[in-house]
């Protein structure tokens, strides 16, 4: 019976991750955890439920990544948590985009042909606002823009969604940790309701996450990657999650993470990323991973 249940959960999660099912389809699949809070709000889920699904860059299978259209697509599919990437423009504005260059997901080469290599930090917010960030994905998204962090937060609040925010390439943008926190505070995202159940800030840069914790200790944080086990206890002092590539971890590593308590006194959580169909089944069968970013 246990093996059968595990297979059902694994298959359901794999289907959700690879197709970003509609909300009606989600409701029909038992064991898939969407549309609910993470461990900090709902309590530990290890050993009891399938992993929480966080929409990577929004519902990126159905809309251009990291756009407001992707946020809305996730919302329509019942995905409450979304993940995004934040960088800074030349004139100091915060924008939501994954790559440190603009040419993969916008028409920057056409609009600004002489500005190679088209780094985000080499353009002003007004220049980036001119770019089409949707046509590369599909004609019906023509005219979609690279959102500012302020616009993105506003849409999440309108939809009642929650945010896993990645500080992208922070070494390119000195002081961005404090700037992001100021913007979150300005938009109401550092109030009690948001920090307890609607916000996690993560980065590959452990030093940056330590800075976030020092500046705003109430905010839940995550470190991306799979640090060596001898580093975990040190990181647990200022983080709540360790969020690795799924293929990089083992059951032994998962157990080592879960033996530790994080910055807010709860067991460290694991939100794994780079999850394909096979990885989804593996995550579900482990039953000790709290979330998948997919």
User: Is residue 179 a contact partner of residue 94, using CB atoms and an 8 Å limit?
Assistant: yes
Determine contact, residues 290/269, Cβ cutoff 8 Å: yes
> How many Cβ atoms sit within 10 Å of the Cβ of residue 234?
12
At 128 the three-state DSSP class reads helix
Catalytic residue among 62, 75, 98, 213: 98
3-class SS shares of the chain: helix, strand, coil, % to 5: 40, 15, 45
From residue 268, alpha-carbon distances to 16, 127, 171, 213, 247 in Å are 25, 41, 26, 15, 19
Torsional class of 48: left (φ above 0), alpha (ψ -120 to 50), beta (otherwise):
alpha
Annotation says 56 is catalytic: yes
Active site residue 194: no
Grouping H, G, I as helix, E, B as strand and the rest as coil, residue 239 is coil
**Residue 186 backbone phi and psi in degrees, to 5:** -60, -35
Q: What tokens were used for 189?
A: 């995202």
Please give the positions annotated as active site.
56, 98
């Amino acid at each position: 019976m246990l093996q059968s249940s595990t297979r059902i959960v694994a298959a359901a999660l794999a289907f959700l991750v690879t197709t970003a099912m509609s909300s009606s389809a989600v409701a029909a699949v038992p064991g898939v955890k969407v549309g609910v809070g993470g461990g900090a709000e709902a309590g530990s889920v290890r050993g009891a439920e399938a992993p929480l699904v966080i929409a990577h860059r929004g519902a990126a299978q159905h809309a251009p990544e990291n756009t407001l259209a992707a946020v809305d697509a996730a919302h329509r599919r019942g995905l409450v948590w979304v993940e995004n990437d934040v960088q800074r423009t030349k004139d100091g504005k915060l924008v939501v985009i994954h790559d440190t260059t603009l040419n993969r997901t916008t028409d920057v080469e056409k609009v600004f042909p002489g500005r190679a290599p088209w780094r985000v930090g080499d353009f002003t917010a007004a220049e980036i606002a001119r770019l089409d960030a949707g046509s590369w994905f599909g004609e019906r998204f023509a005219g979609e823009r690279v959102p500012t962090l302020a616009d993105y937060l506003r849409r999440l609040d309108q939809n009642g969604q929650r945010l896993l925010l990645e500080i992208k390439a922070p070494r390119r943008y000195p002081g961005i940790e404090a700037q992001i926190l100021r913007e979150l505070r300005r938009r109401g995202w550092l109030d009690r309701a948001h920090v307890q159940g609607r916000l996690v800030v993560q980065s590959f840069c452990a030093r940056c996450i330590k800075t976030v914790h020092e500046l705003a200790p109430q905010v839940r944080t995550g470190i991306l990657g799979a640090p060596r086990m001898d580093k975990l206890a040190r990181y647990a002092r200022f983080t709540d999650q360790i969020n690795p590539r799924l293929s990089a971890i083992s059951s032994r590593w998962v157990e080592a993470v879960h033996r530790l308590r994080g910055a807010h006194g709860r067991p460290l959580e694991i939100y794994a990323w780079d999850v394909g169909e096979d990885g989804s089944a593996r995550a579900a069968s482990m039953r000790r991973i709290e979330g998948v970013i997919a």
